[in-house]
A and B are shown apart, each in its own frame.
Chain A
């Protein structure tokens, strides 16, 4: 924070222009509590003021979309009366300041976004990125984040069934922690974040409000980092998964009994958001009494109560005659409940504290009148030089290269982390962590839901449009290998400082790339999150969009392909276009400390064909595996390691990561392949992995891959 000599609005993170806008809106100087409210709601984190203008580009329509972007979570129809709710969120800066609690509360927050919609959260995915594990600080952050995810996710009782772990120098000062959640609900259980009619009552459920997390949205999530940032630890919230578990069960029972008109979770901007947004959506006003808000400590100011991001709280809007039953349901689950407000006609949000009015503002203005910036954007001057860096992999010794790739903790097994996560609860996990896409059966139906989350900052630095589009296609391929068709996307755009024109250009290009690929696939974007200011000491992270793809397998393959199902004598086929020798942004480049060139652009037509073919093959073959990081060589090695069988293949450019490709394995004569879209490259068998005549022992490959993360942690 800045010095105390600064005017209050600047201390709260508002610019002078934004302060003037508040004065204009109110027609007077704002009171301190009012300034606090505008500062959190108009923060980058809550208002998307730098990105909003560009987010309209996303395709968001499809017949199966029930709720698109703008609510707490996106909702799509998956048939049989079931809806799926999904959302992704970042907790990057809190995790850098305090990794365990930062990651834990990231999990807690995304769960609330999903059960706010009426859904039971059924699974989580974590996308986490750090600097190299050779740095002690990065080890501390990595271990802390994994323990935070495990500690919260396991105890709250929602399985963590997949995700991605990656390491790159650019995340050393700014790790990325993105969490995606999927929930299920019956169509009639859908709840929206509305305050209902005048007369309805605002009931605050859950934990008492404390001083933790004050200014989290405005100070932590919406500003850049420097060496003083460790002093921001009080801005990180503290999570309590037991409270959240009780809150989930209490809310689901409220929905089951049809006791609420609307619900809003208290996340970023806390009570300010949970009163102004539902009132704004319903076009009503509200009276709120801060003296009725249960507080964890005495002497909290109105501003603190309004800004606190204390976790595990929900606001329910209830018809007056149902209030006793709501309170009784909360009491049964041992969840605290307090009547804190009443919905009023008009549009004014009035906040009282110690029997005095401390804020009186147009409710909708906090969300709707937030500034929208069209910040200047410009292609980075350094990009041409970067794209001109040559790297053709000449002299790559294939065996050594493959062994080195398998030892890379970004490629090696995630088992060190994912065996710390409960990934089996609810008995849905057909395919869990460590695979391309997770597959969750829908009990009582013949269907299954598939999810993949994918990110690749290196590709996106070299060409954000190409990189972002390829992520969408990769995620679609990853759900296709389970037999699912892509249904909906949520995205988390992690970028640097938007006040720099080149970062704004990266944002625009990223959005364009995601949009083009989603249009080609016919898949809507149903929600997302933008995390900006991911820079430390003036250095931005690579633009790192993360794409979460939901797919529907209808029906689910009777025996879904798995990496471990390869058997000696089976044929190995490569599906999709031939790989070129382009290694731009690849894992092999990282091995050699190079990042340059222009990655192979995606081809929408080929992408759609390949993904369709793979989704069909999922009903007929033993193994399907997406070709991505480390190319065909790593994809093949992973099949060999999982199945315990070696293989002999011949394939040009085995380390190329060119898009739209997958490997298929099946017994001879069981599948008729079209030579136009696929080619046989070899056979399963032996105790070695042999590519183009150069081989490594299977047991050595297995040892390198299985222990990659653990060895990097203890080296």
Chain B
């Protein structure tokens, strides 16, 4: 059961995701964005960062990378696909999750721990958590506010206090089937109490479990 961690030029959280997944007993490998064959993998994580320097719009260029057709194909057949921060922005640009992202309400980059609450456990990210469970996870973004005029997005985690103006205080949103999830705070940064929190483990562990059942 192996997860592909996709590396686009300009992303920077790929090694952290690899570290966190491996520490949880999962298996993962870095995959360059020009690859097209994901047949060795049961799931995909799009890590955070600044793909293509955020040129045009966050995620706007990455969604045309060769690998994205394979990611869409896997998502379409129900495989677990997780986009973290910039990865979520790519999933929105690719149309795999409804909505888009705009700048934080205060027009300022935010890097700090935020408290989020699980509101829906029917997704590959939240399946191991409980509804109402509160988690401390670091936010690290500028274009962090999710907007979705369609109303089709399925909010699975909300901020306890609104940090950035995200619609419905959404911190994580899934597609209707729950196998594709975007999350703005970084669960991989909350996997060690020494660094301030291990609350992200329940999320990543749930994602890894979903590889088996998918």
Contact = CB atoms under 8 A, between A and B. Distances in A.
A539 B140 CA distance: 41
Nearest to A441: B194
Given A427-B20, A430-B194, A441-B194, A242 B13 contact: no
Nearest to A250: B9
Contacts of A424: 111, 138, 140, 186, 189, 195
B105 interface: no
| B interface: dominant SS | mixed
A82 interface: no
Interface string B1-33: 000000001111101100110000000000010
Nearest to B16: A427
A668 interface: no
Contacts of B11: 157
Interface in A411-432: 418-427, 429-430
A441 B19 CA distance: 14
A422 B20 contact: no
B12 A242 contact: no
Contact of B111 (A240, A246, A423): A423
Contact of A427 (B32, B111, B195): B195
A157 B9 contact: no
Interface stretch (B50-58, B70-78, B206-214): B50-58
Contacts of A443: 19
Contact of B53 (A242, A419, A426, A441): A242
Contacts of A425: 12-13, 16, 140
Interface size range on B against A? 20 to 34
B9 A155 contact: no
A429 B9 contact: no
B195 A240 contact: no
A420 B109 contact: yes
A155 B20 contact: no
Contacts of B192: 427
A426 B50 contact: no
Contacts of A157: 10-12, 49-50
B102 interface: no
Interface string B98-134: 0000000000111110000000000000000000000
A333 interface: yes
B188 interface: yes
Nearest to B109: A420
Given A242-B10, A333-B9, A420 B19 contact: no
B66 to A, nearest CB: 13
A154 B54 CA distance: 12
A427 B109 CA distance: 19
B163 to A, nearest CB: 10
A447 interface: no
A150 B50 CA distance: 13
A426 B192 CA distance: 12
Interface in A312-363: 332-334
B9 A421 contact: no
Given A242-B50, A242-B52, A154 B19 contact: no
20 contacts: A155-B50, A155-B54, A240-B53, A242-B10, A242-B54, A242-B55, A245-B10, A246-B9, A419-B112, A420-B108, A420-B109, A421-B109, A421-B111, A422-B109, A422-B111, A424-B138, A427-B189, A429-B195, A430-B194, A443-B19
